[in-house]
């Protein structure tokens, strides 16, 4: 039995971050491996915990702080499955970042001396592990204040500082967009906090389980509404999506995949905080949320089609894709909720692949404009394969796990549609048609970037080739894991069902 397993999972990345910053001039280039190694360790702990939970155990650890605040950690089938995949994305992107950050420092800060270089390099890997701490904290928190704390931690430490210091564009633009991201994050969390406080005035507790006491109370509608607005701004649901293209465009691509996790994790919060304790009260929001999600799916796809910037393209795709999990969760059937959450996990894997590959393209060609690309498959075959894998994953093509997720999710939505109001059936048909739009824009992007003749500039550039193995191998491994989960989704779905089966 491993002691404090959940605490270790949450805190170890932060500890690694502190070690990296305190030994920054000694560790230097090893910082990436320290961060990656620590995350591998926590992934191993997560798998051990997942195995225990799969066999019927529930892991709970108590860490009280004050009367109404505690950092108690709780892992059940739902949280552990989410945590494993999120952590896995962190591991992959940590290793991907090892080369990538080197490149960003060179682009932003130029040819600096070794000491300055080490300072910048280790600064990135000091900030990076806080992603894992934030994600794990949200997944395992039992207390709303603790969950809020971890949401804000993510917004402020890794997101703001990494984007501000390692993002794209010039200094002013970078900080401006980082500030924009911060404001949106804080604004969303504040509205969520208002909902929490309103709930507290009626329950006298910040514990998530105590929210069920609100069921049937007229105030519950306002609590759900406030929390939903807060979560929608994180989920980039239309019209609260306007921050996403900016932020994704200026982010260093090595963490852009984690930004998708940051946004999409709100779906988990929605299920954990609103649907599980307040299922009956949530029903009134079901159809309006589905309509909003449908609009976002289509609108995000159209925006993606219109993009010429390879990074903005992926950002708009994220807007569209997150709504898939939202529409699934909002349909409130056991199939659609499990499918929606499963889709969240598959999407973050697919998006990490696509964004990271976009990063490879920018890294090797120095070009972001898709119109200036074309024919790159000849010089970058591995990158082309990875982008295609990402496109397939987002399009829900087998054998990627997204296919299984979409199938289960849409089963639930159609089940609701055929046995419920007719409008839901219309929404279901339109939503499944929107999958066709995803296929259109992702495969079109393959054609535009990798097929056709190459421009003379790219053709004459001998430096264009596939990136170093340490960049593409982690992404290939992530793609392979997505395929394995697609071929055998039983493990994750069984874990989900332990918690959600009762719905």
Partner 1 sequence: MILVPVEVAWLCFLFPFAGALLSPVLARIHPRLRDYGALFFSFLGALCSVMFIPYLFHLDNLPLESAFVWLTVPIELNVGVLVDPLSIVMANVVAVISFVIMIYSLGYMKGDPCLTRWWMWMNLFIGSMLLLVLSNNLLFLFVGWKMVGLCSWGLIGFYYKDERKYWIGGPPPTKYTVPSHCGLKAMVVTSMGDVLMLGGILIMYSYAGTLNILELYETSSVWLPEMAKSSGLILLMIVMLLLGPIGKSAQFPLHEWLPEAMAGPGPVSALIHAATMVKSGVYMVARLLPIFFYGYWVSGCGEAIYFFIIVAWVGVITAFVAATQGMTALELKKALAFSTVSQIGYMFLALGVAGLTISSLEGGYTSGIYHLFNHALFKACLFLCAGSVIHTAHSIYMNDMGSIKKFMPFTWIFMLIAALSLMGVPPFPGFWSKDAILASTLATHYFLLFSLALITVVITAFYTTRFFGMTFHGRASENIEKLKQKGAHLGEVHITMVVACGALAVIIVICGLIGLPLEHFLGHAFEHTMEYLHLPIVHAEHATPLWVVPLMSVVSVVIGFVPAYLLYFSGKLDPKSIVENSSLLKMLHKFFWNRWYIDSFYFMFFVGGMTKLYTAAPKFEDILDKVFHQMIPSIPKRLSDLVKYLRTETGVLGFNLLYILIFYIFVLLLILWVVW
Residue from 11, 40, 186, 415 touching partner 1 (CB under 8 A): that is 415
Restricting to residues 179-218, which ones interact with partner 1 according to CB under 8 A?
180, 201
Residue from 64, 204, 239, 288 touching partner 1 (CB under 8 A): that is 239
Tell me the closest approach of the beta carbon of residue 439 to partner 1, in angstroms. 4
Cα dist from 174 to 100, 108, 122, 252, 309, whole Å? 18, 11, 20, 10, 17
Q: Which stretch binds partner 1 (CB under 8 A): 51-59, 66-74, 105-113, 406-414?
A: 406-414
481 lies in the site for partner 1, by CB under 8 A = no
Burial class (CB in 10 A: 0-12, 13-18, 19+), 489: buried
411 lies in the site for partner 1, by CB under 8 A = yes
Residue from 82, 255, 397, 499 touching partner 1 (CB under 8 A): that is 397
Q: What does the alpha-carbon distance between residue 310 and residue 372 come to, in Å, rounded to a whole number? A: 11
Helix axes 253-269, 144-154, angle to 10 degrees: 160
CB 245 within 8 A of CB 320: no
Q: Which stretch binds partner 1 (CB under 8 A): 66-74, 150-158, 360-368, 399-407?
A: 399-407
CB 271 within 8 A of CB 341: yes
Tell me the closest approach of the beta carbon of residue 121 to partner 1, in angstroms. 33
Closest CA to 434 of 237, 295, 286: 295
399 lies in the site for partner 1, by CB under 8 A = yes
489 lies in the site for partner 1, by CB under 8 A = yes
| Binding residues with partner 1: total (CB under 8 A) | 56
Q: What does the alpha-carbon distance between residue 38 and residue 132 come to, in Å, rounded to a whole number? A: 10
Tell me the closest approach of the beta carbon of residue 266 to partner 1, in angstroms. 18
54 lies in the site for partner 1, by CB under 8 A = no
- Is cis: bond before 2, omega within 30 of 0? no
Q: What angle do CA 381, 355, 310 make, to 5 degrees?
A: 80
Start-end of H helices in 128-218: 129-140, 144-154, 162-166, 171-203
Q: Which stretch binds partner 1 (CB under 8 A): 49-57, 254-262, 295-303, 344-352?
A: 295-303
Tell me the closest approach of the beta carbon of residue 6 to partner 1, in angstroms. 25
Tokens read off for 161: 């500082």
Tell me the closest approach of the beta carbon of residue 355 to partner 1, in angstroms. 20
Q: Which is nearer to partner 1, 106 or 494 (by Cβ)?
A: 494
Q: Which is nearer to partner 1, 360 or 499 (by Cβ)?
A: 499
Residue from 174, 403, 458, 482 touching partner 1 (CB under 8 A): that is 403
Q: What does the alpha-carbon distance between residue 482 and residue 433 come to, in Å, rounded to a whole number? A: 24
Tell me the closest approach of the beta carbon of residue 302 to partner 1, in angstroms. 4
Q: What is the dihedral of CA 188, 191, 196, 201, to 10 degrees?
A: 170
414 lies in the site for partner 1, by CB under 8 A = yes
Distance in angstroms between the alpha carbons of the first and the last residue of the chain:
32
Tell me the closest approach of the beta carbon of residue 32 to partner 1, in angstroms. 29
Closest CA to 297 of 204, 187, 409: 409
418 lies in the site for partner 1, by CB under 8 A = yes
Tell me the closest approach of the beta carbon of residue 362 to partner 1, in angstroms. 21
Q: Dihedral of CA 55/210/325/14: which sign?
A: negative
473 lies in the site for partner 1, by CB under 8 A = no
Restricting to residues 425-444, which ones interact with partner 1 according to CB under 8 A?
428-429, 432-433, 435-436, 439-440, 443-444
CA 166 to chain centroid, in Å, comes to 19
Restricting to residues 301-340, which ones interact with partner 1 according to CB under 8 A?
302-303, 305-306, 334-335, 338-339
Q: Which is nearer to partner 1, 84 or 181 (by Cβ)?
A: 181
Cα dist from 58 to 52, 53, 113, 117, 501, whole Å? 8, 6, 51, 45, 16
Restricting to residues 342-381, which ones interact with partner 1 according to CB under 8 A?
375, 377-378
Tell me the closest approach of the beta carbon of residue 181 to partner 1, in angstroms. 12
Residue from 373, 392, 405, 485 touching partner 1 (CB under 8 A): that is 392
CB 73 within 8 A of CB 141: yes
Q: Which is nearer to partner 1, 42 or 233 (by Cβ)?
A: 233
Listed in sequence order, the residues at least 6 apart from 154 whose beta carbon sits closer than 8 Å to its beta carbon are 130, 131, 134, 135, 138, 185, 262
Restricting to residues 61-120, which ones interact with partner 1 according to CB under 8 A?
none
Where on the chain is the footprint of partner 1 (CB under 8 A)? 180, 201, 239, 242-243, 245, 299, 302-303, 305-306, 334-335, 338-339, 375, 377-378, 392, 395, 397-399, 403, 407-408, 410-412, 414-415, 417-419, 428-429, 432-433, 435-436, 439-440, 443-444, 447, 450-453, 489-490, 493-494, 497, 500-501
């Amino acid at each position: 039995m491993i002691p404090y397993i959940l605490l270790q999972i949450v805190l170890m990345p932060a500890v690694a971050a502190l070690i990296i910053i305190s030994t920054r001039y000694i560790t230097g280039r090893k910082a990436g491996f320290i961060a990656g190694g620590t995350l591998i360790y926590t992934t191993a702990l997560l798998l051990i915990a997942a195995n225990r939970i799969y066999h019927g155990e529930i892991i709970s650890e108590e860490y009280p702080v004050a009367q109404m605040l505690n950092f108690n950690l709780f892992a059940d089938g739902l949280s552990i499955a989410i945590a494993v995949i999120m952590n896995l994305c962190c591991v992959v992107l940590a290793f991907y970042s090892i080369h990538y950050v080197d490149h960003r420092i060179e682009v932003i800060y130029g040819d600096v001396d070794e000491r300055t270089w080490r300072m910048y390099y280790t600064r990135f890997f000091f900030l990076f592990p806080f992603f894992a701490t934030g994600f794990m904290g949200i997944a395992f928190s039992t207390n709303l204040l603790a969950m809020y704390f971890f949401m804000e931690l993510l917004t402020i430490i890794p997101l703001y500082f990494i984007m501000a210091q390692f993002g794209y564009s010039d200094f002013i633009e970078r900080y401006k967009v980082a500030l924009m991201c911060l404001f949106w994050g804080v604004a969303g969390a504040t509205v969520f906090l208002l909902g929490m406080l309103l709930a507290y005035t009626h329950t006298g507790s910040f514990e998530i389980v105590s929210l069920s006491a609100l069921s049937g109370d007229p105030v519950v509608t306002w609590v759900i509404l406030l929390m939903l607005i807060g979560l929608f701004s994180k989920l980039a649901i239309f019209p609260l999506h306007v921050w996403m293209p900016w932020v994704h465009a200026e982010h260093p691509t090595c963490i852009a995949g984690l930004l998708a996790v940051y946004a999409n994790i709100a779906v988990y919060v929605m299920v954990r905080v609103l649907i599980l304790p307040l299922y009956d009260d949530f029903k009134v929001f079901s159809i309006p949320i589905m309509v909003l999600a449908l609009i976002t799916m289509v609108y995000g796809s159209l925006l993606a089609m219109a993009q010429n910037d390879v990074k903005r393209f992926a950002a708009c795709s994220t807007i569209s894709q997150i709504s898939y999990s939202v529409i699934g969760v909002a349909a409130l059937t056991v199939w659609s909720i499990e499918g929606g959450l499963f889709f969240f996990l598959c999407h973050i894997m697919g998006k990490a692949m696509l964004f990271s590959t976009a990063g490879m393209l920018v890294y090797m060609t120095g070009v972001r404009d898709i119109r200036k690309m074309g024919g790159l498959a000849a010089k970058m075959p591995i990158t082309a394969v990875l982008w295609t894998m990402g496109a397939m994953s987002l399009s829900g093509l087998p054998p990627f796990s997204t296919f299984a997720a979409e199938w289960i999710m849409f089963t639930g939505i159609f089940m609701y549609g055929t046995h419920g109001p007719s409008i839901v059936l219309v929404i279901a048909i339109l939503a499944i048609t929107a999958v066709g739009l995803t296929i259109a824009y992702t495969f079109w992007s393959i054609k535009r970037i990798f097929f056709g003749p190459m421009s003379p500039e790219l053709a004459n550039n001998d430096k264009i080739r596939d990136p170093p193995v340490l960049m593409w191998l982690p992404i290939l491994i992530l793609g392979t894991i997505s395929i394995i989960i697609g071929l055998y989704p039983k493990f994750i779905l069984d874990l989900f069902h332990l918690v959600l089966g009762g719905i």
